[in-house]
Amino acid sequence: PISVIDRQLIEDSKEISIIPVLNRQIPGLFITSRGVAGYGVSAGSAGSINMRGFSGSSGRVLILIDGHPQYATIYGHPIADAYISSEIERIEVSRGAASVLYGSNAMGGAINLITKKITQNGYNLKLNAAVGSYGTQQYSINNSFKKKGFTGYLGANYESTNGHRPNSDYNSLNVFAKAGYKISNDWEITGNISLTDFYDENPGAESNPIYESWAAVTRGMAGLSISNNYGITSGSLNI
């Protein structure tokens, strides 16, 4: 079975990270959080992705961006804090074995994050801000434009919290940019770049607190695609 989360659901959630949206909308999918905000790679199984008994850390749940597999070989599992909702147009989740399409890394399922497509002419600027308990703050700004054959999108997101316990601080910054040009009625070229930087602290168990346990991760990706669509046939080259 395949579940699709569209852009309207993503926007209505008001979430910076795409992970809470997935947790609420996809049956059988469980992603553990670190605390008040963030997921990431800290100890205590934070950021662990499980679908139908298979986990991302065992290489059995695959995350893709525009069909590109996101292998995080250093940590052995996808980095959940790198997936930001403002970048995403829709999400396609295949629950169950998707190995025929994606190989043995998708025995438990696959989550394909499809980046934004600009359809509205002119400029469209959006600002969001939120504050909450434990010093929690969330800010986002994004601007898109479409004029003649050119399209563009630029977004930035920041969130931070002091955490609900000592030594549980967290902050993250994400920047995403995408540009495209329609060469003709049938051909289009697009490029995008994403950069995520986050810092988190792991306080440990209340009965056995940990001091100075932290992780700081900077991760980025870039993509370039040339695509065509002749109605009866279509194709693309993705790098």
CA distance 114 to 130: 26
Considering only CA atoms, which of 25, 53, 56 is closest in space to residue 39? 56
Residue 63 CB contacts under 8 Å (≥ 6 apart), including other chains: 49, 56, 69, 70, 78, 83, 110, 111, 113
Q: State whether residue 125 is helix, strand or coil.
A: strand
CA distance 28 to 12: 22
CA distance 180 to 7: 19
Residue pair 36/13 in contact by the 8 Å Cβ criterion = no
- Dihedral, 108, 111, 112, 116 alpha carbons, nearest 10: 180
CA distance 88 to 76: 24
DSSP letters, 64-111, are EETTEE---TTTTS--GGG-BGGGEEEEEEEES--HHHH-GGGSSEEE
Are β-strands 61-65 and 109-115 bridged in parallel, bridged antiparallel, or unpaired? Answer: parallel
Q: CA triplet 109, 113, 117: central angle to 5 degrees?
A: 150
Q: pLDDT tens per residue, the chain (239 residues)? A: 788 999 889 888 888 888 888 888 888 888 777 665 566 655 545 567 778 766 656 567 888 888 888 765 555 556 777 788 888 999 999 887 777 777 777 777 888 999 888 877 888 898 989 999 999 998 999 899 998 889 999 999 998 999 888 888 889 899 999 999 999 989 999 998 989 898 888 888 888 888 888 888 888 888 899 999 998 999 999 88
Rg (CA), the chain: 19
Classify residue 20 by its DSSP letter.
H
Residue pair 38/198 in contact by the 8 Å Cβ criterion = yes
The pTM of the full predicted model, rounded to 2 decimals, is 0.79
CA distance 136 to 128: 14
